[in-house]
Amino acid sequence: MRYLTGLQPSGQLHIGNYFGAILPAVRLQEKGEAFYFIANYHAMTTMSSPQALHDNTRGLAVDFLACGLDPKKAVFFAQSAVPEVNELAWILSTVCPMGLLERCHSYKEKMARGIAATHALFAYPALMAADILLYDSDAVPVGKDQKQHLEVTRDLAGKMNETFGQLFKLPEPVISESTAVVPGLDGQKMSKSYGNAVPIFGEEKELRKLINKKIVTDTTPLEAPKPTENSIILALYKLFASPESYDCMVRQHLAGGVGYGQFKKDLFEAYWEYFRPAREKREWLLTNPGYVDDVLTTGASRAREEASKTLTRIRRAVGLAWL
């Protein structure tokens, strides 16, 4: 079973990224053959600063490794290190109906947020399909908001198979229905664009202040019972604490006598301890940049080997190979 996951280097990772994408990817590398890439071509649809793109790509590599990606168990590389993906995206675009892309909600949502309506943004699903099909992926972990793009991938693979013969397998989505949306500090879905995110990494003093000052709570007095339904503190605490500690906090909410300030302190301590191993690994990676370079170089070489096999097969099928 071959799994494939891509993450955009859009800046500082937050705990929503961790529980929604990084942790599932780390777990999957134990179950099969894993190909994980940094989607820096995709990031260009919303990022115009060359320095920011470079720094974010490098930063994501460090953070993904710190959070548990094992380069001995997964092929890890930057998307831009495998230029074959762009040729396959073009070939796929020749069988891609305009209507298929026009129905993609991600394009409409990004336009609504003021992102420029470029060809790259519109054709994003075709490049995503190439990312997946280039490595003969069997399964792709995706969030519910990305499921439509995987359906586009399956549609394009089917059209290629109908037109040129059996070229691609149809990848299956891996969607964990049990993974709840991680709430942000204001109760909405955690997102950098909403300004409600809790970073995975940062300075202890600033992160403690962030949790203490920014989590939205009601005005229930200290001595009174606190509501547990839709509690941001409890939802976040459950991610980091043991079941016993979580149950204890629920009982404290129901009994009263403990204020939100203490609950926020307990939340921070659980969060800070949870990511302690990742922080220590990250510090080591930052002081050993050559290791990160080697991981990405080796990963790109292995990815290109697989990409070359696929593209050779496709070029022959569509009439682009002359020798």
b/e per residue 93-116 (b: at least 16 CB within 10 A): bebbeeebbeebeebeebeeeeee
State pLDDT tens for residues 230-271.
999 999 999 999 999 999 999 999 999 999 999 999 999 999
110 assigned to active site: yes
One domain, residues 119 and 234? no
Task: Calculate mean pLDDT across residues 192-206.
Answer: 93
The pLDDT value given to residue 304: 98
Residue 224 phi/psi, 5-degree rounding, is -90, 155
Task: Calculate mean pLDDT across residues 118-132.
Answer: 93
State pLDDT tens for residues 65-118.
999 999 999 999 999 999 999 999 999 999 999 998 888 877 777 777 787 888
Query: Could you tell me the CA-to-CA distances from 133 to 153, 314, 320 in Å, in that order?
Result: 8, 11, 18
Count of structural domains, the chain: 2
The pLDDT value given to residue 196: 95
One domain, residues 159 and 218? no
One domain, residues 113 and 212? no
The pLDDT value given to residue 106: 76
Mean pLDDT, the chain, whole residue set? 93
Of 230, 237, 161, 170, the closest CA to residue 198 belongs to 237
Catalytic pick among 73, 169, 192, 265: 192
Task: State yes or no: pLDDT of 128 exceeds 90.
Answer: yes
What's the distance, Cα to Cα, between the start and end of the chain in Å? 32
One domain, residues 18 and 155? yes
One domain, residues 211 and 253? yes
- Starting at the edge strand found earlier in the chain, the sheet holding 139-141 runs 74-78, 33-38, 2-7, 139-141, 172-174
Structure tokens at 270: 């659980």
One domain, residues 35 and 93? yes
One domain, residues 117 and 225? no
Task: Calculate mean pLDDT across residues 124-150.
Answer: 87
Task: State yes or no: pLDDT of 21 exceeds 80.
Answer: yes
Task: State yes or no: pLDDT of 149 exceeds 80.
Answer: no
The pLDDT value given to residue 101: 87
One domain, residues 109 and 217? no
Task: State yes or no: pLDDT of 177 exceeds 60.
Answer: no
Grouping H, G, I as helix, E, B as strand and the rest as coil, residue 18 is helix
The pLDDT value given to residue 111: 77
Q: Which domain holds residue 152?
A: 2-181+289-318
Is residue 196 a part of any domain in this protein?
Answer: no
Percentage of residues in the chain having pLDDT higher than 90: 81
The pLDDT value given to residue 153: 95
Query: CB of 189 within 8 A of CB of 182?
Result: yes
What 8-state DSSP symbol labels residue 145? Answer: G
Query: Could you tell me the CA-to-CA distances from 36 to 7, 69, 289 in Å, in that order?
Result: 8, 9, 19
Show Cβ contacts of residue 8 under 8 Å, excluding neighbours closer than 6 positions. Answer: 38, 39, 40, 42, 43
Looking up residue 232, the CATH number of its domain turns out to be 1.10.240.10
Written as one string, the DSSP assignment of 219-242 is ---TTS----TT-HHHHHHHHHS-
The pLDDT value given to residue 144: 67
The pLDDT value given to residue 296: 98
Is residue 300 a part of any domain in this protein?
Answer: yes
Per the model's pLDDT, the better-predicted residue between 116 and 120 turns out to be 120
One domain, residues 117 and 215? no
Looking up residue 148, the CATH number of its domain turns out to be 3.40.50.620
One domain, residues 45 and 166? yes
- Contacts of the segment 120-123: beta carbons below 8 A, 24+ positions apart: 120/44, 120/45, 121/45, 121/46, 123/89, 123/93
Is residue 208 a part of any domain in this protein?
Answer: yes
> Whole-model pTM above 0.95?
no
Is residue 207 a part of any domain in this protein?
Answer: yes
Beta bridge partners of residue 139, listed in sequence order? 3, 172
Banded model confidence at residue 145, pLDDT cuts 50, 70, 90: low
Is residue 279 a part of any domain in this protein?
Answer: no
Task: State yes or no: pLDDT of 207 exceeds 70.
Answer: yes
Is residue 305 a part of any domain in this protein?
Answer: yes
Task: State yes or no: pLDDT of 142 exceeds 80.
Answer: no
Banded model confidence at residue 147, pLDDT cuts 50, 70, 90: confident
Cα 277 to chain center, whole Å? Answer: 20
Catalytic pick among 73, 159, 189, 214: 189
Per the model's pLDDT, the better-predicted residue between 322 and 162 turns out to be 162
Query: CB of 36 within 8 A of CB of 75?
Result: yes
Is residue 193 a part of any domain in this protein?
Answer: no
Side chain identity, residue 134: L
The pLDDT value given to residue 148: 76
Q: Using only C-alpha atoms, what is the Rg of the chain?
A: 22
Catalytic pick among 110, 159, 214, 265: 110
One domain, residues 166 and 299? yes
Q: How far apart are CA 64 and CA 6, in angstroms?
A: 11
Task: State yes or no: pLDDT of 178 exceeds 70.
Answer: no
The pLDDT value given to residue 117: 83
One domain, residues 153 and 6? yes
Task: Calculate mean pLDDT across residues 298-314.
Answer: 97
Of 70, 67, 86, 65, the closest CA to residue 33 belongs to 70
Is residue 189 a part of any domain in this protein?
Answer: no
